Structure 1
Amino acid sequence: MSEGQAMIDDVVERIRRISGEGRLPAERVLADQLGVNRYILRKALGQLRAGDEIPASQPRNRGKRRAAGSAPGAIADLTSPAEMWEVRLSLEPEIARLAAVRGTAAEIDAIEAVHARSTPTVFDLETDIAFHRAIAVASHNALALHLMEQVMDMTRDPGFRAKFPAFTAETGWRHHQMLVDAIRARHATEAEEAMRLHLAAILQWLNGGADPARYALK
């Protein structure tokens, strides 16, 4: 284990103790309290969030942004699920590739643990979000994680979700299993291709194509 990872693991344990006493303070306050820099702190917080040990971080001024989301001209009103998936297709295959290359054993365990909570026949939005976020955490790309959190926040918007076609029995579970297997095996190209297959199938469905359940696995 590297010295840097040992430091992160130590901070993780200290945050666990603090979180057990109540709500965590702001990052700046917590960094001062623990005597660590913000980089180490964010790595530790990311590890805990990937394992669902603490809540996902909330964007600043969340209340204001939610209020703005219902106003004409807000991005949730201007875009569509198909447009979102076009963006995800340009971003997430590379995130999956990086996760296979850079993810720590603990981060890959976290990806697998989230997938283990899902079932092949029932779609659960929060579990799906947690799965894709865990892969973004394992990519060790802070900007990619930030962008994914913005995308996932929009998917929770009830008005935006009303634009989706009716959900079917297909949950993407098999594609997620392919991703877990490829990332666990450190097969970067396979992880990238599995993510692309997963998102492309959903995009075609959103554009009026066949049910995703009819897409054969490669």
Structure 2
Amino acid sequence: MLTRKQLELLEFIQKRMAKDGVPPSFDEMKDALDLRSKSGIHRLITALEERGFIRRLAHRARAIEIVKLPEALEKKLGKPAETSGFAPQVIAGDKVAPPPAAMPVEVVHALELPVMGRIAAGVPIEAISEVSHHVAVPGSMLSGRGEHYALEVKGDSMIEAGINDGDIVVIREQGTADNGDIVVALVEGHEATLKRFYRRSGMIALEAANPAYETRLLRDDEVKVQGRLVGLIRSY
């Protein structure tokens, strides 16, 4: 038995796929159902998947397969259950074959995170607080509870930690850090930078992972931790 919102979402997805051949985005689903946030859509999608009405395809975040329709919805769409001949509609993804030496990996569902502009891995830049776009990340990358966001890396000061210019880093919002954590640090209230965090002799050390950059030593009141690195996405 589906709730009214679950039924509305399933109908919207079916109509969009029948019309355009592609599933709607999470933003389009949110607007169509008049919800305030995409977290509500995530819950509805999960409920529909658990009940066997849809299947999310692993290799593309927006790819959705409709497995079946409830009898009430089939009748509403003019397809009686006993004569509809309904067949699942699958949107082909862009998955490519792995190289021969590649090890198999476990594929997990993807979630969309806001990309809050660019973060300096070098000389600090002004703090970013506006969403520039969204990016899909594996759900397993989101560490623990709490809010997450993403940032585009600018600079090369963290290259020895495997973080390159242009990479997308996934950040878990938190105000504290342990020694050695890679954090988003707000410096003197207006500069944001991505560095390793250490406490040394009553001071905060923001350490680069590139010998070309000096470690910055700052007073405790000059540094505010805004989040900890939990994942990285790279485009080739």
Q: TM-score range by the shorter chain?
A: under 0.3
The answer to which structure has the higher helix fraction is 1
TM-score under structure 1 normalisation?
0.27
Q: Which structure has the greater CA radius of gyration?
A: 2
Q: Normalised by the size of structure 2, how large is the TM-score?
A: 0.26
Q: Whose relative contact order is higher, 1 or 2, with alpha carbons under 8 Å and at least 6 apart?
A: 1
Q: Which has the higher strand share?
A: 2
